[in-house]
């Protein structure tokens, strides 16, 4: 039986087989990108990634695509923006359920309270508490902006 620590990697590989059978070219190419990124990181670090590390990698891939979408939109390249948006949707299928704005606000308030943060100098403490809770479930950059607003 497979190691439950790598259940996400296993699910992605199974989805690749399904996409091949169903001839879903777009989904298949994005899944191959994901698997290549996982393999690259495993080779670089000489270790097998667990689910938490895979989630971190997927989160990074989504962030890269969001940045690309923003850049393409500014440049008027809607054709490329649409491609990135489709890829983002496919990658997000492997991330946990996204948090709502109110859930994010509650987590931020809780982290500020737990850390005893009183100003911008305590930003690192708050982020240290929040990062694991937000990983793959929310845009950490956007949450960082909310934290700055609350601490200043």
Q: What is the pLDDT of residues 68-96, one digit of tens each?
A: 999 999 999 999 999 999 999 999 999 88
- Which two structure tokens, joined as six digits, stand for 32? 């191959």
Q: Which residues of the chain have pLDDT under 70?
A: 1-5
- Which two structure tokens, joined as six digits, stand for 115? 């850390």
66 alpha-carbon distance from chain centroid: 11
Whether 127 contacts 97, CB under 8 Å: no
Which CATH number fits the domain 101-151, given the four candidates 3.40.50.720, 1.10.460.10, 3.40.50.2300, 1.10.10.410?
Answer: 1.10.10.410
Spans of all domains in the chain = 4-92, 101-151
Whether 96 contacts 137, CB under 8 Å: yes
The radius of gyration of the chain from alpha carbons, rounded to an integer in Å, stands at: 18
- Fold topology of 4-92: Hypothetical Protein Yqey; Chain: A; domain1 (1.10.1510)
- Which two structure tokens, joined as six digits, stand for 10? 């296993």
Supply the pLDDT for residue 42.
93
Report long-range pairs for 35-38 (Cβ below 8 Å, ≥24 apart).
Answer: 37/61, 38/9, 38/12
pTM: 0.75
| Most distant pair of Cα atoms in the chain: their distance | 56
Question: From CA 134, how far away is CA 30, in angstroms rounded?
Answer: 23
């Amino acid at each position: 039986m497979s190691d439950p620590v790598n259940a996400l990697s296993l699910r992605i590989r199974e989805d690749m087989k399904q996409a091949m059978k169903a001839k879903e070219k777009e989904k298949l190419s994005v899944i191959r990108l994901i698997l290549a990124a996982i393999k690259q990181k495993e080779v670089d670090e000489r270790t097998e990634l667990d689910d938490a590390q895979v989630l971190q990698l997927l989160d990074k891939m989504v962030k890269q695509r969001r940045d690309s979408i923003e850049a393409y939109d500014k440049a008027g390249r809607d054709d490329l923006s649409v491609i990135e948006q489709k890829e983002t949707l496919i990658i997000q299928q492997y991330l946990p359920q996204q948090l709502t704005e109110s859930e994010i606000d509650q987590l931020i308030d809780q982290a500020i309270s737990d850390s005893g943060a009183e100003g911008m100098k305590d930003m690192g403490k708050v982020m240290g508490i929040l990062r694991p809770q937000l990983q793959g479930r929310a845009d950490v950059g956007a949450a960082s902006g909310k934290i700055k607003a609350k601490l200043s």
